[in-house]
A and B are shown apart, each in its own frame.
Chain A
Amino acid sequence: MPNATTIALIPLLPFAGFVLLGLFGRKYVKNYAGLIGTALLLVSAALAFYTAYDYFFVAGKVNGVYQQLNPMKITWLAFSQNLSIDLGLTVDPISVMMLVVVTLVSLMVHIYSLGYMKGEKRFSTYYAFLGLFTFSMLGLVLSSNIFQIYIFWELVGVSSFLLIGFYYNKPSAVAASKKAFIVTRFADLGFLIGILILSNQAGTLDFHQMIATLTSPESNAVKNAAASSFLGLSAITWGAALVFIGGAGKSAMFPLHIWLPDAMEGPTPVSALIHAATMVVAGVYLVARMFPVFSITVPAVLEIIAWVGAISAIFAAIIACTQTDIKRVLAYSTMSQIGFMMFALGVSKYGGEAGLGYTASMFHLFTHAMFKALLFLGAGAVIHYVHSNDMQDMGGLRKKMPITHITFLLACLAIAGVPPFAGFFSKEEILLAAYHGNTAIYWIALITSGLTAFYMFRLYFSIFWSKPSGANSHRHSADDHHHGEGGFAMMLPLVILGAGAVFAGFIPFGEFVSTDGKPLASHFHLMFSIAPVALGLTGIAIAWVLYKKQNSKPDKLAASLSGLYKSSYNKFYIDEIYLFVTKKVLFNLIGRPAAWFDRNIVDGFVNLTGNTTVLISEKIKKFQSGKVQLYAIAFLAGVIVLTVLFIYVL
């Protein structure tokens, strides 16, 4: 049986690393900071793998169903009798799977950074932040209380902020870190209000009880749902939709995605960990965690989720085709793949075969973590080598960086959905679920698969084949042989993740993860796979024609599609729209008038009161001049006035 202490240690070890390195790293353990952080994470990962083994194979199923266990619960803040924020542990198939994913990728990034960040002045700070992030992410995954997940949700946000802005003297990094925090904060506002609504409806903050209450048709919350409607939607619908906004922000779903490409300003291993494999899938995880509520009680919201996912998937894929910064291509690719996971949840139903989408989504989350982390780490090695992010500065690197080349190729094949690599299996399941769930989304997904193969191989060919074409390309032509493609520390994670990208697809995922805990058989229909695989291969072939050797075809193609190309290259101007709203509306229309109003009207009134008092007293102080003659005149005048009054008026 999974043991509470063991599981609690999984997040607490990285936290210990954060405290240790944060307090003493700069002065005392500077040189060993990386090793300390990595060692702690190694233990943490070992415990996570042990827990997974223990949970799936030793404890196993009870009555054919994997149980949800809550081995620990501490009351952190009690609002009232029923409503309290508890810090607890949830052990169920998806949380255990996430434990494995997070610790594995984090460990790889820790090891990789030993080489990649070597010589960095704030090396220990970097590892401290990595520890903080890993702790927060693991805490998020294990949450048993909706407020607990919100707490860790914010903590991963701030770790992401700190790591994006790690190179704090670069203005673009500072801007990107602010943008990431503020955009996700905006989404979190929705999440927070959603929590307030749902907890109020369910009368509890505990996930388990909340889901039970909100999905049971007998509960008062569900029965009275219609009565508590606002703008025609029930309170639960509002709550669930708002919670999803939080998830959409964190998972960079359209239109809250604008922070993700900019987040690439952070160190590349950070992008691999936070902005590819773990934090950005938190939104998917959140929807999966509350899946019964979405699918049973508020299917309308689930429909929205499906469409948001599908639109994000194709939207990002189109943009990815035209970007030239390799990290940005990968960022849009991440957004697109998360879109896949999101709509897979959206088209899924609860229970049995109809729950295929849910299993597929989690499966894709798992395989994507492997190959996307690999792609980022590979890109990091390339950037390390070329000292540029731009694919125009790259080319022909396959001989100089053999390990990076092979592993990168494996990851590209995996994401393109070529059998038998990992991505093929998970994507097939998603497509199948979409096919049965929502035909329109199925077609979108199919087209996106083709685009994915195209832009990934455009990237691959531009980096490893072709020739540099950019203005800076001379930089590495002569003197690039000083260092190889990176030391052992950087190559080991590539190889391990490469193995994941090849073999992860063979895991019978339906055995372990399904909506109701009952195993789900794997689905393979050869006929069904023909279309997506063929499309994928077509995409690869087009990329091969256009980008394998340097030629003018891509430019011609871009010219012939100038409108679309330009829009895509400029990311459909979404950033500009946001900029307009924040600058023009928030600052100029609300902020500035508020500040002006306060200084001039509110405070003006205070000053007016003060000045009037002074003015009046200035006027009347002459009466108290102390000159007896004046008093005598006033006295006389008073006597005369009174006399006149008495005689003539009264």
Chain B
Amino acid sequence: MNLLFLIGAPLLTALAVLLARSKQQVRWISLAGPTVQLAMAFALFYFFRREKAAGNTSQVLFEQNHKLFEALNINFHFGVDGIAVAMILLTSFVLIAGVLVSWNVEKMTKEFYFLLILLALGAYGFFISLDLFIMFFFLEISVIPKYLLIGIWGSGKKEYAANKLALMLMGGSALILVGILGLYFLGGNSFDMLKLAKTNIPENLQQILFPLLFVGFGVFTALFPLHTWVPDGHSSAPTAGSMFLAGISMKLGGYGALRVATYLLPEGAKQYADIIIILSAIAILYGAFATMMQKDLKYINAYSSVSHVGFSLLGIGMLTQTAFTGALMQMVSHGVMTALFFAVIGMIYDRTHTRMVAEMGGLMKVMPFITTVFFIVGLCSLGLPGLSGFVAEMTVFVGSWENADAFHRIATIAAAMSIVVTAVYILRAIGRTAMGPITNESHLQLGDARWNEKLAAIILVAGILAIGIAPGWLNDLLQPAAAEIMNRIAGK
């Protein structure tokens, strides 16, 4: 399969959106494009599995390499491993759901969809890149549209939030750029990840480069204490913006932290692993406790994201194969789950015009579909078996437990404690909004989900169930890639 399709399709969709004449045309084009992309992601998954089943053991598949700028040795070098395939699937799921829930955006519809699809383009490009320079380029593509999405279509303190998000992510990008340049010069003037993985960078230099890259990517994935763009950014962003931000953008960071920082600089990772563990354990627990006190549904999910994403970082810090697999699973799982969570919050907000938990009650009576989905996503968040969150968290726990010393044990137990706190805040939120008597008379007139919202929810719920009920396929994708990273750590 030619990976260029994955960039080509969103590019063409974005152009077609610009050429569209009416809002209705824009909408249908924007739905058609992501549908094709979803199909392509499935095709990629299918072909990837077929190749692997046929005994292809190369680290990346469907590789292609085109020279771009010979003087600096920058190439369009593309290829995917299991992690990338999983992330591409995630992106296509979130994208199509995002398009569907935004169906009723009336303000500058064309520009809105254009930016949304541009974001996806950035994400696809990022995941298939093997050249760090190109990867960085795509990372930046996925930052700028967010600034506009929040600034124009957002709500509340949107300018403040847009600035904060863009500046903090740019700060992260700056660190990443310095790190990448360091790799370039130390690794024999190459941006190529596969080549860099074979060069041995001296340990003392790894110790300087690793924090640059890890913290840089960490900003994207809400590494404590650089997570504060998350609550503000999410709460001000339009629904699809939040879905993308939490569902995909945060995963770009997680992917980079593992695939670039940890994989290319194993000695650095070992050096800083304990600090990563401490920070992520803090993020997990502290994020959960902070969530407990939030009153706004979006803030609840934003803080809960800080807590959940902490599991990804914890898994990376644990430096075992199973923990890596778990970290990656958590990225995929959290991506689908949080997108669904924001979608549901958006649906509720569209109807009640409030996101304050205290101003709602008994919504199950008037919107059974939406609240049922709310239940499902809430239960996924608190790690109910059969839904994706459980699989990911348990894999992280089992992987973490392979480290036999007291430090790792205590960190794991601390992280595990969050499952109780998560249950508290999720059940509080659901109990107050969906259950109980209807507190606001005017809510009796509200309607349930429309077709586009139902479709979006069903797609994402299907994703959650596919991981939760039969996690084998995801495990098969991620484990060999995690093993590859582990081999670098173990120095093989």
Q: Taking the complex as formed, is B9 at the interface, i.e. its CB lies under 8 A from any CB of chain A?
A: no
Across the interface, B293 reaches (CB within 8 A) one of A83, A154, A592, namely A592
Q: Taking the complex as formed, is A300 at the interface, i.e. its CB lies under 8 A from any CB of chain B?
A: no
Q: How far is the CA of A381 from the CA of B417 in the complex (A)?
A: 42
Whole-angstrom distance between the Cβ of B223 and the nearest chain A Cβ: 12
Take A169-B362, A178-B431, A587-B293 as given contacts and tell me if A196 and B397 are in contact as well, using a CB distance cutoff of 8 Å.
Answer: yes
Q: Taking the complex as formed, is B278 at the interface, i.e. its CB lies under 8 A from any CB of chain A?
A: no
Interface string of B429-447 (1 = CB under 8 A from A): 0010011111000000000
B364 x A168 contact (CB < 8 A): yes
Q: Which of B225, B398, B428 has the most CB of A within 10 A?
A: B398
B417 x A591 contact (CB < 8 A): no
Q: How far is the CA of A192 from the CA of B428 in the complex (A)?
A: 23
Complex contacts, A152 vs chain B, CB 8 Å: 385
A169 x B436 contact (CB < 8 A): yes
Q: Which residue of B lies closest to A185 (CB)?
A: B423
Q: Taking the complex as formed, is B379 at the interface, i.e. its CB lies under 8 A from any CB of chain A?
A: yes
Interface string of A157-176 (1 = CB under 8 A from B): 01000000100110100110
B472 x A151 contact (CB < 8 A): no
Complex contacts, B475 vs chain A, CB 8 Å: 77-78
Across the interface, B416 reaches (CB within 8 A) one of A155, A175, A192, namely A192
Q: Which residue of B lies closest to A188 (CB)?
A: B419
B436 x A168 contact (CB < 8 A): yes
Across the interface, B395 reaches (CB within 8 A) one of A77, A182, A592, A594, namely A77
Complex contacts, A175 vs chain B, CB 8 Å: 431
Complex contacts, A590 vs chain B, CB 8 Å: 289
B293 x A79 contact (CB < 8 A): no
B431 x A155 contact (CB < 8 A): no
Q: Taking the complex as formed, is A376 at the interface, i.e. its CB lies under 8 A from any CB of chain B?
A: no
A598 x B419 contact (CB < 8 A): no
Complex contacts, B437 vs chain A, CB 8 Å: 169, 171
Q: Taking the complex as formed, is A616 at the interface, i.e. its CB lies under 8 A from any CB of chain B?
A: no
B289 x A594 contact (CB < 8 A): yes
Whole-angstrom distance between the Cβ of A162 and the nearest chain B Cβ: 8
Across the interface, A594 reaches (CB within 8 A) one of B286, B325, B384, B423, namely B286
Whole-angstrom distance between the Cβ of A277 and the nearest chain B Cβ: 23
Q: How far is the CA of A151 from the CA of B471 in the complex (A)?
A: 13
Q: Which residue of A lies closest to B428 (CB)?
A: A178
Majority DSSP secondary structure for residues of A touching B? helix
Take A147-B394, A168-B364 as given contacts and tell me if A185 and B385 are in contact as well, using a CB distance cutoff of 8 Å.
Answer: no
Complex contacts, A83 vs chain B, CB 8 Å: 322, 398
Within 8 A of B (CB), among A49-85: 75-80, 83, 85
Q: Taking the complex as formed, is A647 at the interface, i.e. its CB lies under 8 A from any CB of chain B?
A: no
Q: How far is the CA of A602 from the CA of B472 in the complex (A)?
A: 40
Q: Taking the complex as formed, is B228 at the interface, i.e. its CB lies under 8 A from any CB of chain A?
A: yes
Complex contacts, B395 vs chain A, CB 8 Å: 77, 79
Q: Which residue of B lies closest to A158 (CB)?
A: B384
Whole-angstrom distance between the Cβ of B176 and the nearest chain A Cβ: 19
B436 x A155 contact (CB < 8 A): no
Q: Taking the complex as formed, is A189 at the interface, i.e. its CB lies under 8 A from any CB of chain B?
A: yes
Whole-angstrom distance between the Cβ of A59 and the nearest chain B Cβ: 31
Across the interface, A154 reaches (CB within 8 A) one of B225, B292, B368, B385, namely B385
Complex contacts, A192 vs chain B, CB 8 Å: 397, 416, 419
Complex contacts, A77 vs chain B, CB 8 Å: 391, 394-395, 471-472, 475
Q: How many pairs of residues, A versus B, come closer than 8 Å at their CB atoms?
A: 130
Whole-angstrom distance between the Cβ of B259 and the nearest chain A Cβ: 21
Q: Taking the complex as formed, is B29 at the interface, i.e. its CB lies under 8 A from any CB of chain A?
A: no
| Chain B interface residue count, Cβ-Cβ cutoff 8 angstroms | 62
Complex contacts, B231 vs chain A, CB 8 Å: 598
Complex contacts, A197 vs chain B, CB 8 Å: 401
Across the interface, B419 reaches (CB within 8 A) one of A174, A185, A196, namely A185
Q: How far is the CA of A605 from the CA of B437 in the complex (A)?
A: 42
A591 x B384 contact (CB < 8 A): no
Complex contacts, A169 vs chain B, CB 8 Å: 362, 365, 435-438
Q: Taking the complex as formed, is A200 at the interface, i.e. its CB lies under 8 A from any CB of chain B?
A: yes
B225 x A602 contact (CB < 8 A): yes
Q: How far is the CA of A131 from the CA of B45 in the complex (A)?
A: 35
Take A79-B322, A155-B386, A174-B431 as given contacts and tell me if A591 and B419 are in contact as well, using a CB distance cutoff of 8 Å.
Answer: no
Q: How far is the CA of A194 from the CA of B237 in the complex (A)?
A: 42
B228 x A602 contact (CB < 8 A): yes
A174 x B435 contact (CB < 8 A): yes
Complex contacts, A196 vs chain B, CB 8 Å: 397-398, 401, 412
Q: Taking the complex as formed, is B356 at the interface, i.e. its CB lies under 8 A from any CB of chain A?
A: no
Interface string of A177-193 (1 = CB under 8 A from B): 11001100110110011
A79 x B379 contact (CB < 8 A): no
Whole-angstrom distance between the Cβ of A267 and the nearest chain B Cβ: 15
B423 x A182 contact (CB < 8 A): yes
Whole-angstrom distance between the Cβ of B449 and the nearest chain A Cβ: 14
Within 8 A of B (CB), among A575-613: 586-587, 590-592, 594-595, 598, 602-603, 605-606, 610
Q: Taking the complex as formed, is B256 at the interface, i.e. its CB lies under 8 A from any CB of chain A?
A: no
Q: Which residue of A lies closest to B294 (CB)?
A: A595
Q: How far is the CA of A590 from the CA of B435 in the complex (A)?
A: 27
10 contacts between A and B (CB under 8 A): A79-B399, A85-B394, A155-B386, A168-B435, A196-B398, A197-B401, A586-B424, A595-B289, A595-B294, A606-B164
Report B's interface with A, CB cutoff 8 A. 163-164, 167-168, 225, 227-229, 231-232, 286, 289-290, 292-294, 303, 321-322, 325, 362, 364-365, 368, 379, 382-386, 390-391, 394-395, 397-399, 401-402, 404, 406, 412-413, 416-417, 419-420, 423-424, 427-428, 431, 434-438, 470-472, 475, 479
Report A's interface with B, CB cutoff 8 A. 26, 75-80, 83, 85, 147, 150-152, 154-155, 158, 165, 168-169, 171, 174-175, 177-178, 181-182, 185-186, 188-189, 192-193, 196-197, 199-200, 230, 586-587, 590-592, 594-595, 598, 602-603, 605-606, 610
5 closest A-B pairs by beta carbon, nearest first, are A595-B293, A151-B385, A603-B228, A594-B289, A168-B435
Given contact pairs A154-B385, A177-B431, enumerate 13 new A-B contacts (beta carbons under 8 Å). A83-B398, A151-B390, A154-B383, A181-B423, A182-B423, A185-B419, A200-B404, A586-B292, A586-B424, A595-B289, A598-B290, A602-B225, A606-B168
